[in-house]
Structure 1
Amino acid sequence: MTQALPSVSVIIPVYDDYKRLERCLYALEGQTYPNDRYEIIVVDNGTPEERVPDIEETFSNVRAIREETPGSYAARNAGIAAATGDVFAFTDADCLPAWDWLERGVEALERDPEIGLVGGQILLFANNEDEMTLAETWEMLDGFPQEKYVEEYNFGATANVFTRREVVEDVGPFNLEFYSGGDREWGERVAADGWKVVYAAGVRVRHPARRTLGALLRKTLRTTRGDFQRQQQHGNWSPFRRATRFAEACFRLATPVPRAAWILATASGSPATRGRYALVHTLVMATKEWELIKLLCRNHPDG
């Protein structure tokens, strides 16, 4: 009976994060999907060798490989190249997949042969929900809007994505030129090739919220640069678009108070939670807009 089920390759990049990876692997060992129908490929992306444990000895179904080219997209591509499965399931080393993650993900993908990408739900959790940091407060409310990513932008964050081998063969692997946002660029290629991109709320992983403002703002810088690069690759930065986006960024930087007031009035949660969210949202947006201004100036065609 299990032979009728597609074989699955779970692909997990990791860089010097083996403590959290072990929790992820324990979650994957207890899956409802038949044990003989999936493999787990862990791709180390440059962790110093003395800090790399022998996970193949500890966990069944795990194959550990190494990719020296830095970046999670290079690691995922190495995992794809090593994979033997019909289905590729992507998650991250710090994620905790639900016990039925593989079963639900394969079911969602197999509902329609035209489905090429399933983006599952990413549930954020804090280290201590009674004493959340400012960064955790923001991430818990706005960290991974996977349904929006799928339905509005045709991609899924690779913390929770399922796809078919034939899809990767059709559209190619992740683009290594991208600093960030390669999951979006790849999803756009999948949709452009005629495959359906769908969201599946029942396909769940838990993901830790970033605890510090530094980590949150570094993510903001990374994603802003990746989005700029993607737009640049698509030829979307015409002189008019550059000028209007520059003016918009300047306006947003100059008028933070009305935006914060709007958040305080409309966001959910207690007044204290709304206030914390408004503060962090203002910092995140200011970081994003200031970085975009610098990118627009630095990459000006006449500059």
Structure 2
Amino acid sequence: MTLAVVLIGRNEGARLEASLASLEGRRVVYVDSGSTDGSVAVARAAGAEVVTLDPATPFTAARARHEGFEALGETPPDVVQFIDGDCMVVPGWIEAGLAALQDDARLGLVTGWRSEIAPETSVYNALCDHEWHRPAGEITACGGDMMVRSAAYIEAGGFDAQVIAAEDDEFCQRLRKAGWRMIRLPQPMTRHDAAMTRLGQWWRRAVRSGHGFAQVGDLHPGYFARERARVWVYGLALPVLALVGLIWWPLFLLVLAAYLLSYLKTVQGLRGEGMATGTALHHAVFLTLSKFPNLIGMLTYELRKRCGAAMQIIEYK
């Protein structure tokens, strides 16, 4: 089976150099979204084909991936590996993914395990590292590092450039509805550098996630339903009740009890996934608080939709 790599990036600096080095010997199409740090020159020097996106149209990861696929020509290779510019491919992954696709003609997508390069640097990196590690086997969606059969990509319609967050989930839903299977192999796939060291970065990333919950849920009713319900309850309904509780204190105590119960259930869930108790207690604080920036992201999407405004990306780096 023939393969090419679509690598997307924006001002990734040394991360892009490492990503390109991990792909040495492969055909790479690098798609740049308005970098000002010399990324285009770095990619060309590494032998990659370069696509620079027109800044007149809003940048999105989905748009970059799709234009990268289109740059492969009218007869694309059998398989395309999508990867972000802040990731490195783990040796052996390409071969494992190709073997899985070779063995099952109805398998449209394979992914593996992404992990953080430096999870110990900050709690935000550690949260990402935990987020990436999901069970192997049949899946309904995955992140942006994915190996896709070109025939499946074309049949599903590719990435939707208008989706600014959770665009990978949205694409996977169309792939699934088109009848293609998707699996996660129990194998390391990529090493990621979230490079999040500040609370503000984590907050903006959570805002972006909320935007994704709303937009993808709008495009695929029922998807992200549980996530959106939690945000409405813990990000909006309970805070409103807490304000009322300032007048009638028993209600305020009930709201606090609801948040405490949610926090404890989150801790229990993290411990059930093998996380140490102290780490779970720490991480659960951020997972509980994330409903507030998630709400901002959901409301941002609704406002943009009602006003007919462009779906601009929400960057955290």
How does the TM-score come out when normalised to structure 2? 0.76
1:234-281 alpha-carbon deviations (Å, 9 max, x no partner): 4569xxxx9998456545654322222334455334443233212222
Going from structure 1 to structure 2, the CA distance change for 1:56 and 1:146 (only over 3 Å counts) comes to same
The one-letter code matched in structure 2 to 1:179 is I
2:69 corresponds to:
80
* Matched residue, 1:204: 189
Per the TM alignment, residue 214 of structure 1 is displaced from its structure 2 partner at its CA by 1.9
Counterpart check, 1:214 vs 2:220: no
Asked whether 1:192 is paired with 2:177, we answer yes
Measure how far apart 1:189 and its partner are. Answer: 0.9
Determine which of 79, 93, 102 is the counterpart of 2:94.
102
Amino acid at match of 1:138: L
**Which residue of 246, 267, 270 maps to 2:270?**
267
- 1:125 paired residue number: 117
Report what 2:60 is aligned to: 71
Equivalent-residue separation in structure 2 for 1:221 and 1:56 (angstroms): 31
How many residues are paired up?
275
Per the alignment, residue 258 of structure 1 pairs with 261
CA displacement at 1:87 relative to structure 2: 0.7
Shift of 1:20: 0.5
| Cα distance in structure 2, aligned partners of 1:193 and 1:106 | 21
Tell me the amino acid that sits aligned with residue 129 of structure 2.
M
Mapped pair 1:47 → 2:35: yes
Give the SS at the match of 1:16: coil
Contact 1:87 1:162 in 2 (8 A): yes
Range with greater deviation from structure 2 (195-204 or 205-214): 205-214
Are 2:7 and 2:65, in contact at CA under 8 Å, matched by a contact in 1? yes
TM-score (norm 1): 0.79
| Number of the residue aligned with 2:161 | 176
Letter of the 2:143 counterpart: A
Q: Does 1:167 align with 2:152?
A: yes
Match of residue 223, structure 1, among 181, 190, 209: 209
Paired with 2:199 and 2:28, the residues of 1 have a C-alpha distance of 33
Instruction: Please name the residue that 1:114 is paired with.
Output: 106
Alignment counterpart, residue 125 of structure 2, candidates 128, 136, 143: 136
Q: CA deviation at 1:190?
A: 0.9
Identity over the aligned pairs, expressed in percent?
A: 21
| Structure 2: runs of 5+ lacking an equivalent | 240-254, 307-317
Amino acid at match of 2:14: K
